Amino acid sequence: MKKFKLLFLFLAISPLLFIACDDDGDGDNATTWRFEVGDYTQTAVQEALILAENGDIIQFGSGTFSFTSTLSLDSKNDITIIGAGMNATILDFSGQISGAEGLKIVNADNLLLQGFTVQDTEGDAIKANDCNGITFYDVAAVWSDIASEDNGAYGLYPVTSENVMIDQCYVKGASDAGIYVGQSRTIIVRNSTVENNVAGIEIENCIGADVYGNTARSNTGGILIFDLPGLTLTNGYQCRVYNNTIEDNDYRNFAPEGNIVGSVPSGTGLMILGSTQVEIFSNTFTNNNVMGIGIVSYTTLAALTGTTINDEDYNPFVSDVYIHDNTMTRTTEYPAEQGDMGNLLQDTYPNGDIPDIVWDGVSDPMGTAPVFCLNNPGGGFVDLKVPFFNPEEDATPYQCTLDGLPEVTVNAPSPR
């Protein structure tokens, strides 16, 4: 089989080019497809992704590899795509003329992505659909110019997937979310850094997520836990956010018009929107000067944006949120540019002294679960009492405890 594979590649590309392809993979029949700068073509890389058999390795050496169209991997299992390190191997799409994503992955189980940067894609940097067991390790997604609504929406973008591990990664410049996991189950996002994105990390309509050990700085909003209507997985739950550094998230909101994250105020540390069973603890919040932590019903956001909820199964109300043992400090200096929500908050507190934990005051009129419990000394609290905007800063009714959520365990490939 390997002889036919090599023959196919040899006939398909220029005879002046050579691809190293050998049998030193981990499995008995695994093949390693090797590419080096000066000794590759885009056609050869894409053909390797097509011809690779389960268990094969796609390996890039150090240097910058330039591509003009999306690279795609479809319906493969146990594949490794690996470089020499995120600072050593660059997959550059600044000349992209075809496709939107840099790397597009569909229906691939037990996939390891490690040790490279995807740079300057037209759309999403790495998008993975319908995968079970996918690891992003030491992977970066970067838009190198000044942040713009023309940048791709998402950096690392697994969606409708299961067993997702994102570890020691970096994203900068995404016009929606740097690290976004959507409509997925069993997720860990850890030890990663996100900066100068609209949303640093976003967990949206997911079941079972642990977000810890990350640094979210200089984004519009550091971390978002959102549940939105009209998606294939409705009403996610069970998300823990802990031991993160969430600082200086005052970057201007550069999301394209109409994007839901375009409503997030600059100066947001963490925002919970329409979610349930969320535990926020042992994080350090510093200088997120509009909302250190925002707790918002989707009905409030819909009213501000003039949108309609057309999903009978969707619950727009926040419930069962436990916020405890976080460290919160800030100054009174507001970011310069704001949208409707940020302007409303600044108008309510014109002197910059808004408390760090902000609740819109909207709860499910038919609900029985507590909206949230606070056990978080310092930082302050305000119930805005939407739609009347008669702020109440007494946190006493919400000083309670909830059971901690369970640890998430992910079944995904280990780094090499």
Burial of 10 (0-12, 13-18, 19+ CB in 10 A): middle
| pLDDT at residue 358 tops 90 | yes
Mean pLDDT within 248-276:
95
Q: Give the per-residue pLDDT at 286.
A: 97
CA atoms lying within 13 Å on the CB side of residue 193: 9
pLDDT band at 1 (very low <50, low <70, confident <90, very high): very low
Q: Which residue has the tokens 């910058």?
A: 64
| pLDDT at residue 10 tops 60 | no
| pLDDT at residue 9 tops 50 | no
User: 139-172, pLDDT tens digit by residue?
Assistant: 999 999 888 999 999 999 999 999 999 999 999 9
Is residue 298 within 8 Å of 309, Cβ to Cβ? yes
Measured CA to CA in angstroms, residue 246 lies from 228, 276, 282, 416 at distances of 23, 21, 11, 29
| pLDDT at residue 325 tops 70 | yes
- Cα–chain center distance at 2: 38
| pLDDT at residue 13 tops 90 | no
Max Cα-Cα span within the chain = 76
Q: Give the per-residue pLDDT at 379.
A: 78
**Beta-bridge mates of residue 111:** 134
| pLDDT at residue 184 tops 50 | yes
Q: Give the per-residue pLDDT at 22.
A: 60
The mean of the pLDDT values for the chain is 92
| pLDDT at residue 229 tops 60 | yes
Q: Give the per-residue pLDDT at 20.
A: 53
User: 22-63, pLDDT tens digit by residue?
Assistant: 655 455 678 999 999 999 999 999 999 999 999 999 999 999
| pLDDT at residue 71 tops 80 | yes
Instruction: Give φ, ψ of 260 to 5 degrees.
Output: -60, -35
Q: What percent of the chain has pLDDT over 90?
A: 82
pLDDT band at 190 (very low <50, low <70, confident <90, very high): very high
User: How many whole angstroms separate alpha carbon 64 and alpha carbon 88?
Assistant: 8
Q: Give the per-residue pLDDT at 340.
A: 85
Task: Domain ranges for the chain, please list them.
Answer: 1-142, 178-409
Query: Could you tell me which residue, 151 or 18, shows the higher pLDDT?
Result: 151
* Secondary structure (3-state) at 160: coil
**Beta-bridge mates of residue 82:** 59, 114
Q: Give the per-residue pLDDT at 6.
A: 37
User: 83-121, pLDDT tens digit by residue?
Assistant: 999 999 999 999 999 999 999 999 999 999 999 999 999
Residue 131 per-residue DSSP state = -
Mean pLDDT within 256-281:
95
User: How many whole angstroms separate alpha carbon 296 and alpha carbon 318?
Assistant: 7
Q: At what angle do helices 2-12 and 42-51 cross, to 10 degrees?
A: 150
Lowest mean pLDDT across 174-188, 211-225, 249-263: 249-263
Rg (the chain; Cα; Å): 22
